[in-house]
Amino acid sequence: MPARRAGLLTLTAWAAAAFAVFPIQAHAIVVRGRLTNARGKPVARGQVKLMHGKTVATYAFSDAHGRYEIRFAQAGRFTLIGLGRGYTPAVVDEFYGGATEIIEKNVVLSLTEVRQEVSVTATGLPTPLPQLTAPVSLVKTEDLDLRTGVSDELRMQPGAFIVQTGQGVGVTSLFMRGGPSDGNKVVLDGVPLNDVGGGFDFGTVGSTGIDGIETYRGPDSVLYGTDAESSVVSFTTPRGRGTFPLFSYSGDAGNFHQVRNEVAVGGAISKLDYYGAFSRYNTSNALANDATHLITSVGNVGYRVLPRLTLRGIVRDSVVAQGLPGAYDFLGLTVLGRQQDHDLYAQGNLDYSTKGDWHHFVRYGVARKGETARYFGNVGTPVVFYPGTSYSYTSYFGNPVTIRGANGYSASGQASIFNSDDYLTSNRDELYYQTDKRFNRHITALGAFRYIDERGGSVVPSYGTDRKIERTNFEYTMQLQGDWSNRLFYSVGGAIEKNHLYGVAAEPRIGLAWFPGIRRFAGTKLRANFSKGVSEPALADEFTSLYRQLTPAQIAQFRVTPLTSKRSRTYDIGIDQSLFGNKLVAKLGYFHNMFDHQLDYIDVGTLAKITGQSISSTGIFGAEANTLAYRAQGIEAEVEWKPTEHLFVHGGYTYLDGRVVQSFSTDAAYGGLSTTNPNLPNVPIGSSYPLIGARPFRRPPHSGYAAINYTRRKWGVSAQAAMASRSDDSTFLSYSDINGDNTLLLPNRNLDFGYVKVDAGGTYSLKRRAQLFLQLTNLTNNQHIGPIGYPGLPFSIRAGMKFQLGGK
């Protein structure tokens, strides 16, 4: 017995020693990190709660340096909640923790009661908005709840001007701070969505499967490469959360034969999280031959293979079919046409962290985009030209109409109807690697490499053309960011890009943000930013460039080079001020952009005049060239106010001063019939491009927005208004009248109407799992929201119900 007791005592001693030496592995998950405010200052004696489902598993208090450590004996999926006196509570996204793991999670408390926001787009790393040196706007998930698409919420951003050509999900373009519509880099979870050459139609993006939108105002080719010439728009896909699956269904209907159904499911099982959604939206719109549907499918699955290694796959598929009724106000009738878009975006990524705050990320992404436009028969008035000769042909013209511009000018006539079937493909494969290391809490370095293979083609049956292009691009990025004493924040970076089309380009970016910290200026932030951007020409532009249309001998004869990159540079300064106990935030900024090497269309006569050589013998009619340059400067103002828990008000205003400073387009190079309406002989007109000294088309000098949201436990109401002044534009009807002249061209100045677009909506919860909702769009029934010639969608209404099952 004594020997047996001695053995038991020895075993017990060894076990106790083992538990003492290895307490983490035997007993607990350890979650530790720092509790700070949005400026990175430690929050002492703050509380961090570890939530297991709806239950507080345990909690800890931060020390004088903001450090905390929590231990819990059970593995599972957790959420962290951070609390501090005078701060808005913070919630850290759900994560999985094993019973023998050490997990690093920093918790950031918001300095303001207005919004609690973190951006990834501006720096490539999760960064609280107060630490950013560049202007960024966020659209949250709840802002999209009543929307069928994303375009109307993008109108509610400073500096952004949305142009929708048509109704329903018609082609929708973004002009940011006066930049070109193809100068916005659009990404989904980091994967580029643009066509080859930068163009993107926001009308094809449904609100299904969009967790939020970040808009970076200004060029950022340092992080995003080509096409980030004037902004970056980043969409994110939701992730599954909660150990119980959450299933939701939403159905609604409205006038113009609107019907929308959406289903979604998401959840998490141990180390696996999953999310899937599907929706279909149908509408007839208010014009004949304009029926439209948008089908969206989304999937997002992640698996944590190891404590510091996560694999994730994301896919988004959109199918759009819409009518092509044409410019109804110009034709007085609708055309029989149909366009179909099929866009598939997918990615697989690997996220890995080593000890010592060294993080690695690898992503392989693809984009497969196809667009088909077809027309079915001719409409309008047929006119035979050169009858009885070998040159005889028939053209079709619209009904007699009177075109009126917002500038008071009008013209009457019959416009030519020109339609051509078109098949366009735009495919991209991208390999992206990023490594970043936090050396200390004041310095973080990021390096990245991007390889892109772009392929595309265009078939125009009427011209018998079948054109294909492939581009291979490389990019290398280096960036440093951090702060000094939690008052001066910096972000410095540069990128070198090797583009297949235009060669090597270097893009720098530097930004500073400073909090004076003086009591009189408490809550004040000053910022300044400088950056450059580049954008490659679109496929259609390369196809019609002079270099692509000439033979090798002609290229040598005229010393022609390929199209080069479109370029931009910008600097902006601003001030942000928190007031009334952080319940109100006001922002004011100034920006100055220069866009050069943009594209003009130059006919052969103008080319001959510029080069001093005759190019008429080449057999081409004209070509695109990098000869356009314009300036865009202005002021942005924003206000966000949350006076009570239930009420939130925000608004903004942008003043834009745009001026063309260089152009060699046919319109700008010489006068004559090409730029003059015979009924207005003394008024020069840019038929396709703006004239020197004029504003760029479709950039209003004044634009703004205002919104109010009021929410209670069971119900909520909201109202939004987007506003714009008149803007310069063209009817694009050169030589298009039935008489073969320019009488349907109107002066460019203030041609497009200004507008106020008012929307409203509301929700009411019947039970915990059921909700009624109502959405009213264009309450003022304004028909001039689109560009001249294209009537906007009149007042519309949608009403429906949303159900949820499962989840917590």
Instruction: Compute the mean pLDDT over every residue in the chain, rounded to the nearest whole number.
Output: 89
Per residue in 5-62, pLDDT tens? 444 444 344 444 433 333 434 457 899 999 998 888 899 999 999 998 888 999 999 9
List all residues 6 or more positions away from 5 whose beta carbon is below 8 Å from its beta carbon.
Answer: none
pLDDT at position 4 over 50: no
- CA distance linking residue 415 with residue 560, whole number of Å: 36
- CA distance linking residue 298 with residue 725, whole number of Å: 37
pLDDT band at 462 (very low <50, low <70, confident <90, very high): low
As a whole number of Å, the end-to-end CA separation of the chain is 56
Contact (CB, 8 A) for 402 and 410: yes
Mean pLDDT of 327-334: 96
- CA distance linking residue 298 with residue 313, whole number of Å: 11
What is the percent of the chain with per-residue pLDDT over 70, rounded to a whole number?
92
- Whole-model pTM: value is 0.91
Neighbouring-strand partners of residue 148: none
Contact (CB, 8 A) for 303 and 309: no
- CA distance linking residue 132 with residue 202, whole number of Å: 26
Q: Which residue has tokens 């491009």?
A: 689
pLDDT of residue 492: 96
Neighbouring-strand partners of residue 455: 427, 470
Neighbouring-strand partners of residue 427: 368, 455
Contact (CB, 8 A) for 486 and 39: yes
What are φ and ψ of residue 111, in 5° steps?
-80, -15
- CA distance linking residue 738 with residue 59, whole number of Å: 79
Scanning 649-688, the segments in alpha helix (DSSP H) are 666-669
Number of Cα atoms under 13 Å in the Cβ half of residue 353 = 13
Give the type of residue at 323: G
Residue 463 CB: number of other CB atoms within 10 A?
10
pLDDT at position 607 over 90: no
Per residue in 176-222, pLDDT tens? 999 999 999 999 999 999 999 889 999 999 999 999 999 999 999 99
pLDDT at position 555 over 50: yes
List all residues 6 or more positions away from 767 whose beta carbon is below 8 Å from its beta carbon.
Answer: none
Whether domain 2-109 has CATH 2.60.130.10: the reply is: yes
Per residue in 109-144, pLDDT tens? 886 655 557 888 888 888 888 899 999 999 988 899
Which of residues 358 and 561 earns the better pLDDT score?
A: 358
Helices and strands per DSSP (H, E), number in the chain: 10, 46
pLDDT of residue 12: 43
Which of residues 728 and 689 earns the better pLDDT score?
A: 728
- CA distance linking residue 480 with residue 492, whole number of Å: 5
Mean pLDDT of 651-659: 97
- CA distance linking residue 159 with residue 180, whole number of Å: 13
- CA distance linking residue 513 with residue 117, whole number of Å: 17
* Buried-exposed string 158-190: b where 16+ CB fall within 10 A, e elsewhere: bbbbbbbbbbbbbbbbbbbbbbbbbbbbbbbbb
Q: Structure tokens of 180?
A: 């070109």
- CA distance linking residue 90 with residue 139, whole number of Å: 18
Domain range list for the chain: 2-109, 120-236, 246-806
- CA distance linking residue 298 with residue 276, whole number of Å: 5
pLDDT of residue 619: 62
Q: Counting beta carbons within 10 angstroms of the beta carbon of residue 98, is it exposed (0 to 12), middle (13 to 18) or buried (19 or more)?
A: middle
Architecture of domain 246-806: Beta Barrel (2.40)
Q: Coil, strand, or helix at residue 333?
A: coil
pLDDT of residue 113: 56
pLDDT at position 387 over 90: no
- CA distance linking residue 267 with residue 239, whole number of Å: 8
Give CA torsion, residues 70, 71, 72, 77, to 10 deg.
Answer: 50
pLDDT band at 512 (very low <50, low <70, confident <90, very high): very high
- CATH H-level, domain 120-236: superfamily: TonB-dependent receptor, plug domain (2.170.130.10)
How far does CA 50 lie from the centroid of its chain? 35
Neighbouring-strand partners of residue 20: none
Q: Which range, of 6-10, 482-486, 492-496, 634-638, averages the lowest pLDDT?
A: 6-10
